[in-house]
A = this chain, B = another copy of it.
Amino acid sequence: MAILSEMPLHLHLSSKISLVLHPHVMAHQTPQKPIHLPEILVVGPPSILSTYENQFSQKFHMLKPYESPIPLEEFLKIHAQNTQAVFTSGTFQHLNSTLQLLPSVRVVVTTSVGLDHIDLNQCRRRGIAVAYTPAIFSADVADLAVGLLIDVLRKISAANGFVKSGFWPIKGDYHLATKLSGKRVGIVGLGSIGLEVGKRLEAFDCKISYQSRKKKPSASYHFYTDVCELAEHSDILIVCCALNDQTYHLINKEVLLALGKEGVIVNIARGSIIDEKELVQFLQQGKIAGAGLEVFEHEPNVPEELFELDNVVLSPHAAVYTEESYKDLYDLIIRNLEAFFSNKPLISPVPLDE
C-alpha cells in the first residue's frame, strides 16, 4: 500500500478509466507522462484544445491527424482498428467521411450544440453514440445575439472607430442611430437559445414573436408558421434555429423583402440558414437596414463586400468563446469521455432513437 500510494495516481487506474482530479489541480502538479491513457482521435480540432491542451493530454492520448505529415486518409487507416472515440468540433465538415473510415468507433464527442455536421443516421445505424453540448452555450450565444443587435442599431462598433480615429473633435456629433426599445423582434427557431434571446429582449420592452416547426405551448409569444409572415411583422429578425434540410436558405430573398428597408437581421445560428449572396446584395443596396453576423456560409471566409459596411457587424463564430463557458465545456467533454471509457451512460447524449 505504501508503494502504491507513492505511485502517480493514474497508474492506479485502468487504461479505460481516466483521472478524476480537477484539471486545475492537475495543471499544477509536476508533469509526469502517464502511460496507457485512453486514446481519442481529434479531428477538426475543437478550439477548446488551445486553452485546455495540457489538461486533455494528461487524461487522454490524443491522435492528431492535423499535426501529422501523413495525409488524413492514410492516418485514419493506420488507426482505423483502434479508434473508439472521436473528439470533434461543429465546424469540421469531413466528419461523416472520416467516420466511414473508422469501423471501430463507438462514440463521437462534439463541442457543438449544432449537429448539422454529423450524419446521425450513420451513427444510429452503426451504434455510434454521440455526445454534444446542449444548453451550456445558450446564455453566451443569446448574450452575443443581443450584443450584435444593439451594436448594429446603436452603431457601437462604428462609433468606437469614429472616436478612436480622433474624428469626434473634428467632425462633431455622430450619426443618429436606431432605438431598440419597443421594436418588434421575430425569433426564427425558439429552442433554448431563442428562448434566452426572447427573455433578454423582453426586458428591453421589445415585442417578441417567433417562427418554429411547431407552436411551443409554453411560450407566450405570438407564433407564425411562415417565416415570411414573421419577417413582415418584425423590425428585427434573429436567426436561432438549427441548420437542416428544412432550414437551409430559409432566409431567402422573399424573407428579406418581407423584412424590408428598415429591417435588421442577426444570425447566431449557422451561415447557410441565410442565402448569403442575397443578404450581401440586400445590404449593399440598402434594401435592409443592417446585420449582425456571427456565422457565414463559407467560414472562415466572409464576403468582403461586407467589410466596408458600417451597418454590418461581423463576429468570427465566437459566440461560445468565453472563459467561463470553456471551463463548463471542458468539464462536460471530460465527463462524457470518462463516462464512455468507464462504460457508463454519456452525460449529454444526442437522443438518436427519437
- A: residues with CB less than 8 A from B are 47, 50-51, 139-140, 143-144, 146-148, 150-151, 154-157, 159-166, 168-169, 172-182, 199-200, 202-205, 299-302, 304, 306-307, 313-316, 318, 321-326
Which of A150, A199, A205, A314 has the most chain B CB atoms inside 10 A of its CB? Answer: A150
**In the bound complex, how far is the Cα of B151 from the Cα of A109, in angstroms?**
31
Instruction: Name the contact of A315 in the complex, choosing from B144, B156, B178, B326 (C-beta under 8 A).
Output: B156
A169 near B301 with CB under 8 A, answer yes
Instruction: Name the contact of A163 in the complex, choosing from B147, B154, B315 (C-beta under 8 A).
Output: B315
A159 near B318 with CB under 8 A, answer yes
B147 near A179 with CB under 8 A, answer no
Residue numbers in B under 8 Å from A322 (CB-CB): 154, 176-179
**In the bound complex, how far is the Cα of B52 from the Cα of A176, in angstroms?**
12
A203 near B205 with CB under 8 A, answer no
**In the bound complex, how far is the Cα of B204 from the Cα of A156, in angstroms?**
20
Residue numbers in B under 8 Å from A299 (CB-CB): 168
Residue numbers in B under 8 Å from A177 (CB-CB): 318, 321-323
Residue numbers in B under 8 Å from A318 (CB-CB): 155, 159, 173-174, 177
B203 near A156 with CB under 8 A, answer no
27 A-B residue pairings within 8 Å (CB atoms): A51-B176, A139-B179, A139-B181, A139-B205, A143-B204, A147-B147, A148-B156, A151-B160, A156-B156, A156-B157, A156-B313, A157-B160, A159-B316, A162-B316, A163-B302, A163-B316, A164-B314, A165-B307, A168-B300, A168-B302, A174-B318, A177-B321, A177-B323, A178-B322, A179-B322, A179-B324, A200-B200
Determine how close the nearest CB of chain B comes to the CB of A94; give it in whole angstroms: 18
Determine how close the nearest CB of chain B comes to the CB of A18; give it in whole angstroms: 25
